[in-house]
A and B are shown apart, each in its own frame.
Chain A
Amino acid sequence: MTGRVRTTELPTLRCRGLRLRFGARPILDGLDLDVGRGEALAIMGPSGSGKTSLLHCLAGLRQPDAGDISVAGAELTRMSHRQRARVRLNSIGMVFQFGELLDELTVGENVELPLRLRRERGTAAGRLLGSVGLADRGGSWPAELSGGEVQRVAIARALAGRPVLLLADEPTGALDEGLSRAVGELLRSSASAVGAALVVATHDPIVASSMDRTARLRHGQLVAA
Chain B
Amino acid sequence: MTSPAVRLALAASWRGGRADRRRAATLSAAVAVVTLMGCGCASAWALAGHVQDRAAARSFAPAAEGAPAAFERSALYDETPAGEQIYVYWWRQAGVGPQVPGVHGDPAPGSWFVSPALAERLAVDPGLASRYPGARPLADEGVAHPGELLAHRFVGDHVALDERLAADTEGWIGDGTEALELFPIAMAALALVGIPGLGLVVAASSPLAATVERRRLLLRALGASPGVERRVVATHALSCALPGALAAAVLWWHAAPRLTSVPFVGRAVFAGDLALSGPAIGAVAAGALLLAIAVASVRPGPDLAVRPAASTPRRASAVRGVPLLLAVVTMAAAGVVGGRAGARLFVTGVVATAAAAVIALPYVVDRVGAQLARHPGAVTLLVGRRMGWNAARSTRSLLAVGGVAALSPVVGAWVTVARDVDQPSTVSAPAVEVRGVLSPEEVADLARRADAVTLELVVEPPPDDRTPPRLLVVGDCRTLGSHVKLEACAAGAFSVPAGALGIGPGPLAGSATRPTDAEPHSTLFISDDPTATEALLRAHVLNADRPGRQVAVPGRELTHESPLVQWILGAGLLAGVVGVLALALHLSGQAADLARSRIRLVALGADRALVRRLAGVEAALSLLLVGLGCATVGTVSSWLFVQVDGQASLPIGVIALVVAGVLAGAALSGAAAGVSVPTALRSDRG
Contact = CB atoms under 8 A, between A and B. Distances in A.
Q: Which of B604, B606, B681 neighbours the largest number of chain A CB atoms within 10 Å of its CB? A: B604
Nearest to A121: B376
B684 interface: yes
A10 to B, nearest CB: 22
B313 A104 contact: yes
A81 B681 CA distance: 11
A104 B597 contact: yes
B604 A143 contact: no
Contacts of A117: 378, 601, 604-606, 610
Interface string A38-70: 000000000000001000100101100000000
A81 to B, nearest CB: 6
B605 A161 contact: yes
Q: Which of B385, B605, B610 neighbours the largest number of chain A CB atoms within 10 Å of its CB? A: B605
Interface in B602-636: 602-610
Contacts of B336: none
A119 B381 CA distance: 12
A117 B161 CA distance: 89
Given A88-B604, A104-B313, A116 B684 contact: no
A157 B310 CA distance: 21
A85 B607 contact: yes
Contact of A104 (B377, B382, B606, B608): B382
Contacts of A52: 683-685
Q: Which of A82, A92, A105, A121 neighbours the largest number of chain B CB atoms within 10 Å of its CB? A: A105
B681 A62 contact: yes
Contacts of A92: 605
A102 B376 contact: no
B5 to A, nearest CB: 27
Interface in A86-100: 86-90, 92, 94, 96-98, 100
Interface residues of B, number: 34
Contacts of B105: none
B686 interface: yes
Contacts of B685: 52
Contacts of A59: 603
Interface in B573-611: 596-597, 599-610
Given A100-B603, A104-B386, A104-B389, A113 B312 contact: no
Contacts of A100: 599-600, 603, 684
Contacts of B683: 52
Contacts, number: 96
B378 A113 contact: yes
A119 B603 contact: no
B304 interface: yes
Contact of A61 (B307, B386, B596, B602): B602
Interface in B373-391: 376-378, 381-382, 385-386, 389
A205 B309 CA distance: 30
Contacts of A85: 602, 605-608
B604 A114 contact: yes
Given A103-B307, A121-B376, A89 B606 contact: yes
A116 to B, nearest CB: 4
A88 B304 contact: no
Contacts of B596: 103
Interface in B291-333: 304, 307, 309-313
A96 B312 contact: no
A138 interface: no
A116 B603 contact: no
Interface in A131-153: 141, 143-144
Nearest to A145: B310
Closest 7 CB pairs of A and B: A89-B605, A85-B607, A88-B605, A116-B378, A141-B312, A104-B385, A143-B310
14 contacts: A85-B606, A89-B604, A94-B604, A96-B603, A96-B684, A98-B686, A102-B600, A103-B596, A104-B385, A113-B381, A117-B604, A117-B606, A119-B377, A144-B310
Interface of A: 52, 56, 59, 61-62, 81-82, 85-90, 92, 94, 96-98, 100-105, 109, 113-114, 116-117, 119, 121-122, 141, 143-144, 157, 161, 174
